């Protein structure tokens, strides 16, 4: 159960890549400070909890950063046998979308884990409170900043069917990589009406954590915000469902067509 919830949180909080950076600022048209997203999580027909993300603007020294907070927590019947209260934070540079610092605070039943990671861009390394220094590729992202980086860069592109995207981030003391591919653009039913979305599924190989494409499906709104609207994850004979139920402070109108 713990691994399932962690994987679900990873799907919600990350859509990551190894960033290609240069001296040209990355224009952010996908989100703004005070954006708030809330999701309902269900295990089959049972309400399982919620996940929330909020982005703020915060000053550190003479510089300003995006400060992003995300939580995932169980509730109801699921919470009685799988208590989860996880928190992720990231401080992100306004100029290029790369993280300065990340925080991961995990509380799951009797399991506790807290860590902070500093990103040293000059030396291409991360400094972990738990495990010390590690060399990483240029532009490496943390699990939370990767989600926002993808929204401002990756999803603006026009995808071809079955086009593959490599998703890589420094997560849980290692470079974590997932491969996903674009399947199609479709309108799906949501609490807020039908929304045109980009649908992604995993690339299946010998290292995959899922065995079939339909075991994991993620829909991102194709409206300029590129927020995850719906996630489906097959776990045994059940399906974990994650749906957007509340939002505020979007930079663009939800559901307004985006011209790729």
249-260 residue pLDDT tens: 999 999 988 887
In degrees, to the nearest 5, what angle opens at C-alpha 237 toward C-alphas 70 and 212? 75
- What structural domains does the chain harbor? 2-248 (2.40.360)
The predicted structure's pLDDT at residue 5: 46
The predicted structure's pLDDT at residue 1: 46
The predicted structure's pLDDT at residue 233: 85
Q: Answer yes or no: are the C-beta atoms of 196 and 186 closer than 8 Å.
A: yes
E strands, the chain, where?
A: 36-43, 46-60, 63-74, 85-93, 99-108, 111-120, 125-128, 132-135, 164-171, 174-190, 193-202, 216-221, 228-235, 238-248
CA distance 218 to 199: 6
CA distance 176 to 183: 23
Give the mean pLDDT of 210-224.
85
Summarised one tens digit per residue, pLDDT across range 122-180 is 999 999 999 999 999 988 889 898 889 888 888 888 889 999 877 668 888 888 876 78
243: nearest Cα among 186, 188, 165: 188
Summarised one tens digit per residue, pLDDT across range 62-116 is 999 999 999 988 775 555 566 778 999 999 999 889 999 999 998 888 889 999 9
Q: Answer yes or no: are the C-beta atoms of 92 and 58 closer than 8 Å.
A: no
> Residue 192 burial (CB < 10 Å; 0-12/13-18/19+)?
middle
């Amino acid at each position: 159960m713990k691994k399932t919830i962690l994987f679900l949180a990873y799907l919600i909080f990350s859509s990551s890549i190894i960033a290609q950076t240069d001296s040209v600022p990355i224009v952010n048209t996908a989100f703004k400070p005070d954006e708030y997203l809330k999701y309902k999580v269900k295990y089959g027909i049972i309400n399982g909890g919620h996940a929330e993300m909020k982005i703020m603007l915060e000053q550190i020294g003479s510089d300003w950063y995006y400060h992003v907070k995300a939580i995932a927590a169980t509730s109801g019947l699921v919470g009685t046998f799988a208590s989860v209260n996880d928190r992720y934070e990231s401080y992100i540079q306004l100029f290029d979308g790369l993280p300065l610092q990340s925080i991961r605070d995990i509380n799951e039943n009797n399991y506790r884990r807290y860590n902070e990671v500093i990103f040293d861009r000059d030396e291409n390394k991360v400094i972990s409170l738990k495990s010390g220094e590690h060399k990483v590729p240029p532009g490496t992202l943390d699990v939370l900043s990767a989600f926002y980086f993808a929204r401002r860069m990756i999803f603006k592109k026009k995808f071809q069917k079955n086009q593959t995207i490599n998703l890589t981030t420094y997560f849980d003391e290692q470079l974590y990589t997932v491969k996903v591919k674009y399947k199609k653009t479709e309108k799906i039913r949501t609490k807020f009406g039908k929304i045109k979305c980009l649908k992604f599924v995993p690339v299946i190989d010998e290292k995959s954590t899922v065995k079939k494409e339909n075991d994991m499906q993620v829909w991102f709104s194709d409206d300029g915000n590129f927020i995850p609207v719906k996630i489906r994850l097959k776990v045994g004979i059940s399906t974990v469902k994650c749906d957007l139920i509340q939002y505020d402070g979007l930079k663009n109108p939800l559901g307004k067509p985006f011209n790729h």
